[in-house]
Structure 1
Amino acid sequence: MIRSIFSLLLASFLLAGAPVLAATTPEQSESVSERTEGRDPVTILISIDGFRPDYLERGITPNLNALAASGIYGPMRPSFPSKTFPNHWTLVTGKTPDHHGIVGNTMEDAARPGEIFKMATQDPFWWNEAEPIWITAEKQGIRSATMFWPGSEVEFDGVRPADWWPFNQKLSNDRRINAIVDWMRRPEDIRPRLVTLYFDTVDTAGHYYGPAPGDKLHAAIADVDREIGRLKQQLDHLGQPVNFVIASDHGMTETAPERIIHLDQIMASDQYHLVEDGNYVGLEPLANNGDAVRAAFLRPHEHMECWARENIPAHFGYGTNPRVPAILCLPETGWVAYQDVPEWMTGIGGGHGYDHRDPDMMAFFLSSGPAITAGGQLPAFDNVKIYSLVARLAGVKPEASDGSLAPFEQMLAPGTD
């Protein structure tokens, strides 16, 4: 999420939490088996915003490690740009930002002159180029519930998730878990079969403190790990089988005030229209000076490369959607470019939005549950493929997408369809 909302941070963390997932004895397994009779598995898609794959290797995530050991996990390439909203929409539509229309955290559309899409925007106009999986599920009679997810508050032709909460960053992680457990206590006819859950606190800590090992970041990671462990134990106690798909939207890299590109040193700020700046830059020439703007920005720059929309390199898969700004500038990983440098840019922090192939931008993936066989670490794959897996686990007939089940087919338990 953007840095401007990061002030609502780590004070609400509960440092005491659920115990680590424990191995079950044969007697306990039989008891769980008896309780699960008659309950269909629920599929829970969890986003841990900004969770890098290497966070699993820091010795502070016993619950996630236990789930990984019982299922499949590994690094996952985000889509470009490696930002929060574009990639969350990719995870639930199976389409790249160029194809689903959420091409940035901030964007504009010539069809709506004077309007700006920001992360609080709920107008369906901005979202309706692709249908999210919870809407497809509802249309097919599969009850869904969203405990936060970008776009989950948007109505599609009168359809919403059967249960949804408006995003509130102040709602603590434990309360988010409690809400899901309460949904699972319901009678079968009003119990969700597809659930999304969103954690923002790891990303927030990564932006404030950077991705290097440190107490504040590790406290955020450990808190989310405890809450996922508590969710698993609560559902086990209810006898509710669950297929988890846990993913992040992007990674994180270190930024510093010594690595700032000042856009006003390239061209005066009143000579072009800025759409977004920071980890990447999108801008539009003014009506009367297109050639001058292109000449200023498309020339070589130290620590940054710029392209006209139609010339963005093919490996980004980005530029055919008209919402992509006319000029895109991408700093080297760890550098930032600003028209006006924010006041908070005073020390070491973290950022994302860079080349999605960069190792620091890699997202995280894990899946575990009765439909997943233990397969260990998978090779890196593109995040457009998560949609197909979630659809298969939830019994949803998917919409056409840019992904497939290819990375997971051999890991699905017999009878999973």
Structure 2
Amino acid sequence: MIRTRGPVFRPGEAGYDAERDGFQQAGRHRPDLVVAAAGADDVRAAVEYAAARDLPVAVQATGHGLAVTAEGGVLVATRAMADVRVDPGARTAWVAAGARWQRVIEEAARHGLAPLSGSSPHVGAVGYTLGGGLGLLARRYGYAADHVRAFEIVTADARVRRLVPGDELFGALLGGGGNFGVVTGMEIALVPVTRLYGGGLYFPASAEAVAAWRDWTRAVPDELTSAIGLIPFPDVPAVPEPLRGRHVLHVRVAFSGDAAAGERLVAPLRAAGPLLRDTLRELPYTESASISDDPPFAHAYAGTGVLLDDLDPAAAFEAADPEAEPPCIVQVRHLGGALAAPSPTLVGHRRARYALHVVTPLDGRDPAAVRAAHRSLAGTLKGSGTFLNFQYGPATAEQVRAAYEPDVYAELARLKAVHDPGNLFRFNHNIPPAG
């Protein structure tokens, strides 16, 4: 018997399918029990129930980062735990497990502050941060994980713990994902940002255009974070007319300085080729989602990524061949700046200069075949490691290991053996217990 404030669902019951559904439609959890947690006590009760029966535990807020589909066991759904509390004096926010970045952005903006959120505000804040969190202002402020002040977590022994810097497990969570328990909330630092100069420049896709962006990134200040997307736009009315039916290079810019300085910085890039569309402007941080314009609707997709010491424009363009099967949307993010600074977090390969990831909408394609093609493609790019936030779907043991320096991975495996020896929390980018 499990006693919770939130509802509990079993297969076949009304509400079971809705509660296990998520943004990633390539797979759905099929647990024996879904606990729609209303708070940390419900999470504790769910973990206690699972541990007593030797059942594995999965966690889902929005379902963007569905790493492994849970078959059986207990699913803790945290979407009802969406509380966000801002302390403007301390410039911090308490963010509950199910809160999305959009809620945090809106609450912080009331006080002239912003979180280190990513391109998609509908992503769950906690899961994003546990994977590292590579955001719009990353070169200026670093990874989102670098700015966590405290965690509340339910560990495999069904204890609710508050973890702060200096606690053994605190560091393991920062980049270690969901391997050590169910995070029920986190306290994060906010930054004094209210406005950005940002948006997009759209060019006809070519290796030369990729090279122009790469060369431009070598001279920009840390206050400017940018990325590119090589996108085959369909010829449909929903797409802006200049982009319809074209293979496009979309340059995404987020600059935390003023608009005049931003204009000067992007001038060389504007002159690099024929522009199809230009949306750069000064905008409030609350509209930062418009920079990348990621799709907000649930769909099925697969993707993987690698970290690169340098970018080969021809290889990136070739990977984005719209006539290939499967077709790939290639995205590259400029790293460096604060991302390369020393940090106690476990996000690996901080000296990498670019992060490249490929995404394929499944649209009836065989997910296993698409992922095999992605792994083959990633292998040709000679990456220096992986970044788990960009593993959209199951990752191999080698891909998980490659996200960390060897000594860091060994330490995470040791901590896993101490705090979750039965691997109760394994429906994730899993780090098995040492031994």
TM-score with structure 1 setting the length: 0.28
Greater percentage in helix: 1
Greater percentage in strand: 2
Which of structures 1 and 2 has the larger relative contact order (alpha carbons within 8 angstroms, sep 6+)? 1
